[in-house]
Structure 1
Amino acid sequence: MEDRRRLLKALAACAMPGVAGTALATPASAQPWPVKPIRMVVPFPAGSSPDLIARLLTEKLAAALGQAVVVENRPGAGGNIGTGMVARAAPDGYTLLLTINGPLVTAPTLSRHLGYDPVRQLAPVSLVATSPNVLVVDARLPVHDVREFVALARSRPGVLNYGSVGNGSAAHLAMEQLKAAAGIDLQHIPYPGFAQITTAMVGGQVQAGFMVPVIAMPLVTAGKLRIIAVTTSGRTSLLPAVPTVAESGYPGFEAISWQAVLAPAGTPAPVIDRLYRELVAIIGSEDVRAKMRAQYFVPAGTAPQSLRQTMASEKVRWDKVIRAAGVQPE
């Protein structure tokens, strides 16, 4: 009888509001993710290459998840401002980041007051695309290849300007790598995004720069810019007629841009896994792959751990470039 009374009391306690009742109800009442719109932060301006990739992915990701996925541009400091914002966001699955390699692998070395740690504060989801960089010059310059560009720079030390999207960006470090290898002196002018760089090049304020082909090609076709090299180790199928920097007298030169999706560290593992699986499926679809290649991107799609390994190995490689080129932290 005593055992029966104890059992009845326990059941009554579970039925009443309170800790015991709440604990039992939690698994059944937990809401499935996602139940509201998701924001994908792009730490570069609208029209930039990360923005283009984000907008290509979010429509299909929204359809797969059953919730809107909204691109939010937060440019500044070479991508560090928007990246830091995501690193400090709530790890609830409703804030994502799509960024390039700079804020993830070189910014910690080159920024004394970065304000975030990409290894500790960001959770990799998937590498989504890679792209060669192209070395472009103002079409009014009398240069058609890397050798002529280097010769012109040597004849006018400190006079030619080049643009990048900030200290530690792929465009910045690629040119610093070339400067060190070729022994030339160019002035670095940072801009918020490539749209501003191309405007400056057309206006004559900037004479050269590394950028991804999707940004450069419209102005190349219009005769405003000229591509003189690509930064892959061998010629790329995206631009097979364009020589590499490596074959133009600087063996070993390589500078690839890549783009990845991450979330705040602490985002639940099932959410990360769902995002990874959906992104890989989207990137693997024929229409997305065709659109990526049409914009001069090579589709990727990797597991979170693979992206983490990429970040680690790229940091080691670019730290060597930074030291060799003498690039100083800001």
Structure 2
Amino acid sequence: MNSRRRALGVLLPSALCLSALARASDALAQDWPARPLRMIVPFPAGSSPDLIARLLTEQLAAALGQPVVVENHPGAGGNIGTGMVARATPDGYTLLFTINGPLVTAPTLWRNLNYDPVRQLAPVTLVATSPNVLVVDARLPVRTLQEFVALAKSKPGTLNYGSVGNGSAAHLAMEQLKAMAGIDLQHVPYAGFPQVTTAIVGGQVQAGFMVPAIAMPLVQAGKLRMLAVTTTGRSALLPSVPTVVESGYPGFEAISWQAVLAPAGTPAPIVDRLYRELVAIIGREDVREKMRAQYFAPAGTAPASLRQTMASEKLRWDKVIRAAHVQPE
């Protein structure tokens, strides 16, 4: 009997604490939102994540009845702003709008990463996806991926490619292609895509992967040539461009995606409300058209689906990182 009482004495306070926390969480969710929210974008103003985030927050503010303020906190490939949200109070007033890198590849690339995206962030929804495109200097004597690979094989180690840094999506996509095609290209990292495109047009590097929103103006101006897209099947956004897969490399895929997350521990009713409101916004035709204009395909998946995407993408890119011995700058 005494042992039973002692056991109850240990269990009862714990149960009471959990019950109190649940009641506090429910009360917070019922009053939410009572003040403005902030959406942290860990990339500069004017970047693709920033533009899509601002498109959504304008609509989200109207749906919630409170302002949603975009704050740009760039640096370390998105890790600085992402870490801010991971450590923020989980009360529904701080959200994260980011791309795949800080969620998927950063934990493998950075030994001293100050956040854990799986443990410290709660998925809300996958917002949109975009293919990457392989572009080359339009003066290069190639018009297909096969011709580019043949040129690279004829001049091993002499062609350069640009990216926005070690471990970036553009870097890893090319490392994946190098391994599959058996070619030797030299990597030249830059601070951002404007510098990459300037380098290609200026002849300092010959190729690079990038999102279509950045590449298309220069493709249309005749300064870059687009050789392939990185989706497994042809992209509805660029239906006339062949895929890397159909160019001879089965299984190749390297898409960019954008998502909304909250700090782990954010009350489930708040996460659910955010998910429902955002999916409704993403479903609006005017919003979808604006996304497509930037070469992003609207998504709007459930939180569990986003978590699964994060897990599967991490497994795939971990293999590329380790095989290519990629290290952060």
Per the normalisation by structure 2, the TM-score is: 0.86
Q: Is the 8 A contact 2:29 2:267 kept in 1?
A: no
Q: How does 1:81-96 map to 2 (within 5 A)?
A: 81-96=80-95
Structure with bigger gyration radius = 1
Change (3 A) 1:72 1:248: same
Partner residue, 1:273: 272
- The 1-side partners of 2:216 and 2:264 are apart by 37
SS at match of 2:78: helix
Moved more, 293-302 or 45-54: 45-54
Change (3 A) 1:28 1:285: closer
Please give the per-residue CA displacement for 1:194-226, whole angstroms capped at 9, x wherever unaligned: 233223333333321111111111111112211
- The 1-side partners of 2:125 and 2:215 are apart by 26
User: Aligned-pair distance for 1:29?
Assistant: 10
- Matched letter for residue 232 of structure 1: T
Partner residue, 1:122: 121
In the alignment, structure 1 residue 327 sits paired with structure 2 residue 326: yes
User: Aligned-pair distance for 1:126?
Assistant: 0.5
- Matched letter for residue 185 of structure 1: D
Partner residue, 1:167: 166
Partner residue, 2:155: 156
- The 2-side partners of 1:209 and 1:186 are apart by 11
Count of aligned pairs: 307
SS at match of 2:97: strand
SS at match of 1:98: strand
SS at match of 1:247: coil
In the alignment, structure 1 residue 50 sits paired with structure 2 residue 49: yes
Please give the per-residue CA displacement for 1:87-146, whole angstroms capped at 9, x wherever unaligned: 122222222111111111111111112111100111111000011111011222222111
Q: Percent identity?
A: 85
Moved more, 234-243 or 179-188: 179-188
User: Aligned-pair distance for 1:283?
Assistant: 0.3
- The 2-side partners of 1:28 and 1:172 are apart by 46
Partner residue, 1:21: none
Partner residue, 2:224: 225
Partner residue, 2:176: 177
- The 1-side partners of 2:29 and 2:292 are apart by 41
SS at match of 2:246: helix
- The 2-side partners of 1:327 and 1:64 are apart by 43
- The 2-side partners of 1:199 and 1:51 are apart by 22
User: Aligned-pair distance for 1:31?
Assistant: 8.0
User: Aligned-pair distance for 1:230?
Assistant: 0.4
What do you get for the CA RMSD once the two structures are aligned? 2.4
Partner residue, 2:193: 194
Partner residue, 2:254: 255
Partner residue, 1:132: 131
Change (3 A) 1:224 1:72: farther
Per the normalisation by structure 1, the TM-score is: 0.86
Partner residue, 2:36: 37
User: Aligned-pair distance for 1:329?
Assistant: 5.9
In the alignment, structure 1 residue 291 sits paired with structure 2 residue 290: yes
Runs of 4+ in structure 1 off by over 4 angstroms are 26-31
- The 1-side partners of 2:178 and 2:224 are apart by 20
Change (3 A) 1:238 1:79: same
Please give the per-residue CA displacement for 1:304-324, whole angstroms capped at 9, x wherever unaligned: 111111111111122223233
Q: Is the 8 A contact 1:135 1:211 kept in 2?
A: yes
Partner residue, 1:63: 62
- The 2-side partners of 1:107 and 1:302 are apart by 23
- The 2-side partners of 1:113 and 1:89 are apart by 19
- The 2-side partners of 1:94 and 1:47 are apart by 23
Moved more, 319-328 or 241-250: 319-328
Change (3 A) 1:239 1:27: closer
Q: Is the 8 A contact 2:29 2:270 kept in 1?
A: no
Q: Is the 8 A contact 1:135 1:209 kept in 2?
A: yes
User: Aligned-pair distance for 1:28?
Assistant: 8.4
